[in-house]
Amino acid sequence: MNTEATQGTAPVATRTISVAPEQFRISEDGSTGTLLGSRCKECKTAFFGPTRYCRRCTSDRVEPIELSGEGVLRSHTLIFRAPSGWTGPEPYALAEVELPEGVAVRSRLTDWTEGEQLEIGSSYEVVVTPVGQDEEGNVLAAYTWSRTGSRS
Ligand SMILES: [Zn+2]
């Protein structure tokens, strides 16, 4: 929780908070995020997010790891009617990006524009995207994909 908040007239420091803290850790300043996963010590298979047992060999010798923030587009689908509660643009592109660890991570492609053709195999990097705000004014953010090199 935010311990910087003070009473009176002092400005309240707000933070950027991950909506999926077990899968995505956001830096103190909110500018960068790290995808989190697990790796089986037996068969070396990596997974997105925490897991107690290896989903391949069922071993419980699983350790938490940081995943790469960059991967290649494996598949995508266009969403023309978003699920209820969606506040982003419509239509939007939902994609699976495969990381070097062999893990596929599904999220929105933030810089896709309607009508644009997507190319399987092109590079994407994970970015921190604000999706809302909590009652204390903190920014809630999720991981999404952006074309590699599209921001500097
Ligand atoms: Zn395993």
Q: Which of 65-69, 102-106, 114-118 has the lowest mean pLDDT?
A: 114-118
Whole-structure pTM value: 0.86
Residues 26-77 pLDDT 10s: 999 999 999 999 999 999 999 999 999 999 999 999 999 999 999 999 999 9
Q: How far is the CA of 100 from the centre of ligand 1 (A)?
A: 17
Tell me how far the alpha carbon of residue 41 lies from the centroid of ligand 1, in angstroms. 7
Task: Return the pLDDT at 99.
Answer: 98
Contacts of 104 (CB under 8 A, 6+ apart): 48, 74, 96, 97, 98
Neighbours of 70 (CB within 10 A): 15
At 58, which amino acid appears?
T
Band (pLDDT 50/70/90 cuts) for residue 12 is low
Mean pLDDT of 108-133: 94
